[in-house]
Structure 1
Amino acid sequence: MHIPVMLNECLEALITDPAGVYVDGTLGNGGHSAEILKRLSDGGTLIGFDRDIEAIERVQKKLFSGEGKRVELVHDNYANMALQLDRLGVEKVDGLLLDLGVSSFQLDVAGRGFSFQQDAPIDMRMDQTQGRTAGELVNHAPEAELADIIYRYGEEKASRRIARAIAEARVKKEIETTLELAAIVERAKGGRKGKKTHPATKTFQALRMAVNDELAGIEQVLETMIENVVEGGRIVVLTFHSLEDRMVKRFFARHVPREESLQQGGVKRIYDEPPVKWIWKKPLTATEEEQAVNPRSRSAKLRAVEVGV
């Protein structure tokens, strides 16, 4: 069962006008989207994006089959959101929600290859219709490139040792499944040694982010969509690890006005257009009660801004 993370906090930050246009850039299992729609009036509109066609089809059938024009689901990477909204004739939106976690459906379906909890081909593509798989990356990328990916996207200190172990293993035979890969990484890191987190966690995260070009997608959707939010509208972003959170924080911070003293006296407001203001100065985190019920919420951070100050 998929439990939307920090659901009430996300919706309280997001919705300012029940008759407005709201975008869920990461539809997933539709948990956030379904609740957004419940809070909108008959004049409100929900637009959901997902690069996974299975998510679009599943959510359309399960949640939105009778909603008609109130709901529009788009099969595309959220990086292309501004172009798709232009195609739909939507000039401005009242709110944008991005939940950057991997959906529980993708994690739990073995054939998608996101997790080492079940044995499966090493795929990890969010959109299985395009791009190279994580298996192709693992078996054919140069050792130095692998080490760089694992260090950059996984913040894994043992990246060189892991990349060397992968390179040595694939010479003997192709690395075919998630459990094979996890075992190679575990041996390279010296086993679990009583640690709660599996030794392959950061490596799998890094491969997934590289295959799906996730950081570039986040940057692109923020850069293009901040111009397409109405004055007084909100952008709400839920992140699950430090790389994403730092990127979102720095992007928003560039748009928050700050005062700079001038040599001739007085001050000047410095910011990237359009200006925004923080809804909260520090990110929200899940309550202890939510973390106990939904362990996936433990690493979540929620940041939100209002456009136009």
Structure 2
Amino acid sequence: MNINHRPVLLAEAVTALISGPLIQKQNAANNILVIDGTFGRGGHTQALLQQLPQSARMISFDKDLDAIAVAQTINDPRLTIVHDSFANMDQYAQAESADGILLDLGISSPQVDEAHRGFSFRREGPLDMRMNTDQGMTAAEWLEQAPQEEITHVIKTYGEERFAFQIAKAIVAKREEGLSPKTTTQLASLVASVVRTREAGQDPATRTFQALRIFINRELEDLELGLKAAINLLKPGARLAVISFHSLEDRIVKQFLQAHAKVEVPRGLPVREKDLPQSTLEIISRVKPSEAEVLENPRARSAIMRVAEKRMVVSA
């Protein structure tokens, strides 16, 4: 099994969580709980464990069975591995029980590099794209039966692809000939035959593959549910760090944090500042990879980490 994977913003993510006031205050306590919503290949999980006391607990989630297999090789009694989406994290922890939560979104290098997973347009393999291969339709199965309008919508919405209509039309035309794409290279070639122009250095199939992966795995829906669950699970003073890799993810994260970091007061209402209700979150930072990290790991170039802290309850 290929476990070669470089976690993005590793030091920055660990520092963001561990330096939070709650963990610093409770460092000698017995009830520290940290959640890693996406184990991947364990880089963030293991780095966090190295910084946490022996009395701490950690829960790491992943939908990918290959990731779970790697996680199960870690011999650390503090670590609990859960084969599930982080969208369901509140089913495994109590409200206001977490001292820190990390969500590293997107796809891991081994998932892209292993052709049989079907995520890469550069490698010949079955058009699968499922994170959890135990459930759901493959991308090929969905393309075999989805209406042209739905395919257009998915590629346009999740891939921000301006040639979505032409791509969907070509897919359906091939399907009607009995030649619906079954492999990654078949789909990539089909897209390339329709998309004649593209940004310099970007493969014509990039946006279509991104769209199908996001749709098949319900990534944006899981993100919205996971953010809501995280707010519920964080203790006052605990931190949430989210690493995203494309504009759709980052927009959801940014808007969610901003919405919980401000208090809406009807215009003209005579309320003094000290009487305003508290917002739920305080936005701490927005971090991008250094030039050195991008040079070492080009897949980090689009990453953005946003960090927020759940506000302490201030008694009147």
Task: Mark yes or no: TM-score above 0.5.
Answer: yes
Matched, 1:30 2:42: yes
d(CA) in 2 for partners of 1:297, 1:186: 26
Post-superposition shift, 1:265? 3.2
Among 283, 295, 298, the residue aligned to 1:295: 298
- Matches of 1:297 and 1:72 in 2, distance apart? 27
Superposition CA RMSD, Å: 1.9
Conserved? CA contact 2:171–2:180, under 8 Å = no
The letter for the 1-side match of 2:11 is N
Is residue 236–residue 304 contact of structure 1 (8 Å, CA) maintained in 2? yes
Distance 1:103 1:51 in 2: 12
TM-score (normalised: structure 2)? 0.89
Match of 1:188 in 2: 194
Q: Is residue 2:85 matched to residue 1:77? A: yes
Among candidates 185, 206, 212, match of residue 179 of structure 1: 185
The one-letter code matched in structure 1 to 2:160 is: E
Shift of the 264–121 alpha-carbon distance from structure 1 to 2, 3 Å rule, reads closer
1:197-216 aligned at under 5 Å gives the runs: 197-216=202-221
Which residue identity is paired with 1:109? E
Answering whether residue 229 of structure 2 is matched by residue 224 of structure 1, we say: yes
1:139-154 alignment to 2 at 5 Å? 139-154=144-159
Unpaired stretches in structure 2, ≥5 consecutive residues? none
- Number of the residue aligned with 2:69: 57
Shift of 1:59: 2.3
CA drift at 1:264 = 5.1
Residue of structure 2 in register with 1:238 after alignment: 243
1:165: how far off? 1.1
Alignment map for 1:227-306 (pairs within 5 Å): 227-258=232-263, 260=265, 263=268, 265-267=270-272, 275-280=280-285, 283-306=286-309
Supply the distance in 1 between the matched residues of 2:187 and 2:5 (Cα, whole angstroms): 27
Give the CA deviation at 1:133: 0.7
Q: Secondary structure at the match of 1:277?
A: strand
1:121 is matched with which residue?
126
Contact 1:46 1:72 in 2 (8 A): yes
Unpaired runs of 5+ residues, structure 1, are none
> Match for 1:107: what amino acid?
V
Distance 1:179 1:279, change over 3 A: same
**How far 1:254 moved relative to its partner?**
1.1
Whether the 8 Å contact between 1:153 and 1:205 is mirrored in structure 2 is yes
Identity %: 40
Structure 1 CA distance for aligned equivalents of residues 111 and 284 of structure 2 = 31
Contact kept in structure 2, 1:156 and 1:202, CA below 8 Å:
yes
Structure 1 counterpart of 2:192, which letter? E
Count of matched residue positions in the alignment of Structure 1 and Structure 2: 298
Which residue matches 1:48? 60
TM-score, structure 1 as length reference:
0.91
How far residue 225 of structure 1 moved from its aligned partner, in angstroms, is: 2.2
